[in-house]
Structure 1
């Protein structure tokens, strides 16, 4: 790990459970008796990746935090078997982008788009065979537009139309 850090001029350091991105531009490399030390005249932590482990040693979750400890980046949660369970993207503590849930085998269960921690955009829910079960649209946290239900063979079953959270008559 340290050898890779030195050779790549990476800005990555690690303690027992977290990764830190540390700018090395202010580092002074000191080599003495076969040991290498870095002295920093100043540094700041840009990103912290908090990692939690299951008892079996596999990763349970990884969350990117900013220097204030607020979620900022990717959050990943894993099943005990190591497959991905959940992925979400954060900006300053709020979900921004897609949130995805997966089953134990890693198959997609749902996808939901967020903007500033509010559902905004397309949401899809899937059958265990990977076919879309439900597709609906949100605007600012309210259903808005088409909500389409499909059967397991991807045949359309029903269509509902919403306007600002209110079901419209067809």
Structure 2
């Protein structure tokens, strides 16, 4: 009986100690609506953290472990539609990340491995028409990239091997508009600009992304 009481008191003490270490902090807008709801433990963000707009709709929701983001990070526009969805592993972006416009249309899909772009990369116009379709490998442009106008015509291409390659764009009449050389994802070498008739008008020179006078 005495041992049972001791165990009970010990568990009670540990529970009180645990609760004492946790700290839920809330802030409010002047209109009385909740502004933020944060969970702390040992003075570090631990648990679900939520921020709100003044109208009461959620702005951002994320989970922390010792000040480090883990799991899904969700953001909303003030009208309640999603702004972005992403996932974190030990504070680093991992997997698919999505962006939306205020009307709920999907604008982009990015893929990450250990906080670095890796995999499929797509952007859309608000109409739903694809804008850019490409691929990253360990943060570098890789493979064939396609660029579209609002009606779905291909207006540019890029062909890369680990960030090095050539990007081209065309006028609506099919003539080339410009041709750019890339190294390590940066303009490097020549950028040739053509007029609508396809005649070379200007050649610019770049070094590691910087224009050379």
Q: Choose which of 35, 42, 45 in structure 1 pairs with 2:18.
A: 45
CA RMSD of aligned residues (A): 1.9
- Name the one with the larger helix percent: 2
Structure 2 counterpart of 1:69: 43
Rate the CA distance shift 1:157–1:52 in 2: closer, same or farther, 3 A.
same
Structure 1 counterpart of 2:102: 128
Q: Is contact 2:75-2:85 (8 Å) kept?
A: yes
Which stretch has the larger CA shift, 125-134 or 147-156? 147-156
Q: Choose which of 106, 112, 123 in structure 2 pairs with 1:149.
A: 123
TM-score calculated relative to the size of structure 2: 0.58
Structure 2 counterpart of 1:119: 93
Instruction: Name which one, 1 or 2, has greater alpha-carbon Rg.
Output: 2
Query: Does residue 1:110 correspond to 2:90, yes or no?
Result: no
User: What's the CA shift for 1:41?
Assistant: 5.8
Q: Is contact 2:79-2:102 (8 Å) kept?
A: no
User: What's the CA shift for 1:155?
Assistant: 2.9
Query: Does residue 1:60 correspond to 2:71, yes or no?
Result: no
Structure 2 counterpart of 1:8: none
For residues 129 and 54 of structure 1, the distance between their equivalents in structure 2, rounded to whole angstroms, comes to 26
User: What's the CA shift for 1:85?
Assistant: 0.7
Structure showing greater relative contact order (alpha-carbon pairs closer than 8 Å, 6 or more residues apart) = 1
Query: How many positions carry a matched residue from both structures?
Result: 133
- Give deviations 1:121-166, integer Å, cap 9, x for gaps: 1110002221210001011111000111112232323211101111
For residues 101 and 26 of structure 2, the distance between their equivalents in structure 1, rounded to whole angstroms, comes to 31
Structure 2 counterpart of 1:32: none
Structure 2: 5+ residue stretches without partners: 1-7, 145-213
For residues 165 and 85 of structure 1, the distance between their equivalents in structure 2, rounded to whole angstroms, comes to 29
